[in-house]
Amino acid sequence: MEQIQPANRELSYIAFAHRGAKAYVRENTIEAFQLALRLGATGIESDVWLSKDGIPILDHDGVVQERIFKRPIGNYLREQLPEHIPSLEDLLRLAPRGVSISLDIKDDDGFEEVIKVVRKVHGDQAPFIYLCHPTLDLLEKVRNESQGVSLVSSVRLSKLAKGPEMHAARMRESEIDVMNMHHRDWNGGLVALFHRFNRQCFAWDCQFGRNIREMAQMNIDGIYSDWPDRFYELDSTQEI
């Protein structure tokens, strides 16, 4: 499989292509990932499910359409899945080492198998691999087995029962590396708060230039968009 080198243009944040270049081609396919890198993405985002034989598979909904029925990916062996659905290993071998890979872990039992594949391809140290989950308890549980990769608390601000400062403090204590929220949840004060606890800040669903500029001006560390070329359309330093 041909490796695609990302565009050599500097940004102050990781430019994550959400499900690949989803705006242009079929999402979560090798074609989408290749196009995203050609358009300048410095990171790729996808969702991970386990097949029946325990292979980490990339798909958003985690189902296979069979005529009028939809069946879970977990009902199929890897070799039984449609050709357009890639495995995690397919993506890791496509993207050059150092391209950031953000993975939403959809099967709670999937961390172990995902980490096995990451170590197979990239060895023990791959901090550019970001494993995301909404439950902080689970992230804390898998922290020891996940050494060498980055863990991401991916949750809406309204779900932080004890508030953002307590959440940030717990993340630092548990070595959870990144806070990931919808772009509407972020403001400059919250970014500064999480940075004060030495946690990175990611923002998702940034589909328009104004969203991207606003997040960049807040010093967000990673931005997700369906439109990877829009990271470069506008100067992120100009006024909104």
Query: Model pTM?
Result: 0.93
In whole angstroms, give the CA distance from residue 68 to residue 96: 38
Tokens found for residue 124: 């023990």
The two beta strands, 63-66 and 69-72, are antiparallel
H or E stretch covering 58: strand 56-58
* pLDDT tens digits along 141-168: 999 999 999 999 999 999 999 999 999 9
Q: Give the tokens for residue 227.
A: 């439109």
Contacts of the segment 224-227: beta carbons below 8 A, 24+ positions apart:
224/16, 224/18, 224/45, 224/102, 225/15, 225/16, 225/17, 225/18, 226/17, 226/18, 226/19, 226/21, 226/22, 226/23, 227/21, 227/23
In angstroms, rounded to a whole number, what is the distance separating the alpha carbons of residues 160 and 31?
Answer: 37
pLDDT category at 68 given cuts 50, 70, 90 is confident
pLDDT of residue 6: 55
On average, the pLDDT of the chain sits at 93
Q: Per CATH, the architecture of 14-231 is what?
A: Alpha-Beta Barrel (3.20)
Matching residue, tokens 């791959």: 126
Q: What is the dihedral of CA 100, 104, 105, 107, to 10 degrees?
A: -150
Query: Quick one: average pLDDT of 64-70?
Result: 84
pLDDT of the residue at 2 = 55
- Judged against a pLDDT cut of 50, whether residue 240 lies above it is answered with no
pLDDT of residue 233: 82
Q: Is the dihedral angle over the CA atoms 60, 65, 70, 74 positive or is it negative?
A: negative
pLDDT of residue 237: 44
Interval 88-99: pLDDT, tens: 999 999 999 989
The confidence band for 234, taking pLDDT boundaries of 50, 70 and 90, is low
CB 7 within 8 A of CB 15: no
Q: Identify the burial level of 11 via C-beta atoms within 10 angstroms of its C-beta, where 0-12 means exposed, 13-18 middle and 19 or more buried.
A: middle
**DSSP H or E segment with residue 169:** helix 163-174
| Phi and psi angles of residue 17, each rounded to the nearest 5 degrees, phi first | -85, 115
Q: What is the largest CA-CA distance in the chain?
A: 52
Q: Are 37 and 4 in contact (CB under 8 A)?
A: yes
